[in-house]
Structure 1
């Protein structure tokens, strides 16, 4: 801003120092520099110079305004980003505290076993899928959801060591054919751990179990009315 003001002053003085003098070649006048400033006479082409300076001044002011707005926008953005970062850090710390405290105090109901923060019970009786669901619900849980390879391996290793038989898990497409949904209401993500060419039962086979035998406890869809062992889970 200071630079613009200096330009205006110098330009104005320079114009006032120019006088209109006759041209040797004719009657037209030229503007020449006169070292003596004559305040009483108007500067040469005053209006034109002032218009040019006003245009420059307006452009400079607009540029400064843009810079100020950009600066304010950047400051606001940085402040918002810092706020979000601080909030996320706080949430992470809270989750870490909860995880530590959970690991320290998690206890499972009788006959349930703890694995990765979840309690599992392996049945010793066999029931149809719906009755197995009902039994787990009455105990405050649901049929087991198997969303990781770790969980799959833990559960199937236990079945191998005990019943060595077909065992229900909490996965079915009863509501919509081909849309496999876990008992917790979430949809199956990815390919699943199916046996070869499974699932293949169409509308006749809507419930899933660990297949004992040729599939080596990988998943298989069968009619829900069959009676198998089952696994209940309760969140720790």
Structure 2
């Protein structure tokens, strides 16, 4: 073999190529390369783990703080509940006390009423047992003679014929009375209702101012107070010194506005009055 070939051959044998290294050498190189790559891949996982741990710690702290706060709130609510319950209990006790006192008062009043009722029953029983007093007096009756109308203790007569005022008074006196003396609106209305209606039905009654003009007196001497004159009356139109009342066909006329004055010598029907006889 030529020398250059042997050298070449030796060189090939002495310095073998990396591809022909022994298995141990190749494994060692591969292991070293794998460790370097593994370390390079582990770095991001460590960072993520640290972040997650920190996040978990923060969440844990938040949970602890929230739990403590809720515990305080519940404690405060629980502290306030007894106070409200205690207030309601006190109010209820006060109401019960008031109702009890009111019940006692009602019972006392009931007892007093029952006592009064018993006393009243005893009085009624005594009154019923007492005989009624006997009286020998007969009941009083007021009577008026025929053609006379009774009202409030007096009898009234309405004449159907006419006379002067003075003659009318004499006629009434002969029959136990006077020309009517009218003191109240009720009496005036009663007499006026007895009169018949007509064109100008006029009737003397017991009033005059013959002695002093406009100084009207009744036939018994008492002075007139008030009266039931028509508007504008008395007016003494023609020496009119005696009083009369009218009842006409005009339905709008009323009893308390029916008095007039007229000359005493006129002949008119008249109204007598006398005290009713008791029997």
How far is the alpha carbon of 1:178 from its aligned partner? 1.1
Structure 2: how far apart are the matches of 1:235 and 1:117?
A: 6
CA contact (8 A) 1:177 1:202 kept: no
Report Cα offsets for 1:44-100 as digits up to 9, x if no partner. xxxxxxxxxxxxxxxxxxxxxxxxxxxxxxxxxxxxxxxxxxxxxxxxxxxxxxxxx
Inter-partner Cα distance in structure 2 for 1:140 and 1:148: 22
1:219 is aligned to 259
Q: What is the aligned-residue RMSD (CA, Å)?
A: 2.5
Q: Distance in 2 between matches of 1:103 and 1:112?
A: 22
What does the per-residue CA deviation read over 1:155-194, in whole Å, with 9 as the maximum and x for residues that have no partner? Answer: 111103699710111011111111111112211112x110
2:242 equivalent among 189, 204, 207 = 207
Q: Is the 8 A contact 2:200 2:246 kept in 1?
A: no
1-structure distance, mates of 2:219, 2:138: 23
Map of 1:72-111 to 2, 5 A cutoff? 104-111=140-147
Q: Distance in 2 between matches of 1:134 and 1:164?
A: 24
1:193 aligned to 2:228?
A: yes
Runs (4+) of structure 1 exceeding 2 A deviation are 101-105, 160-164, 211-217
Tell me which structure has the larger Cα radius of gyration: 2
SS of equivalent residue, structure 1 residue 134? helix
- Does 2:156 match 1:116? no
- Whether contact under 8 Å (2:207, 2:216) holds in the other structure is yes
Please, what TM-score do these two structures have when normalized by structure 1? 0.52
Shift of 1:223: 0.2
1:176 paired with 2:212, answer yes
- Give the structure 1 partner of residue 274 of structure 2: 234
Richer in strand (by share)? 1
Give 1 or 2: higher helix fraction. 2
Q: How far apart in 1 are the matches of 2:165 and 2:219?
A: 11
Gaps (5+ residues) in structure 2? 1-136
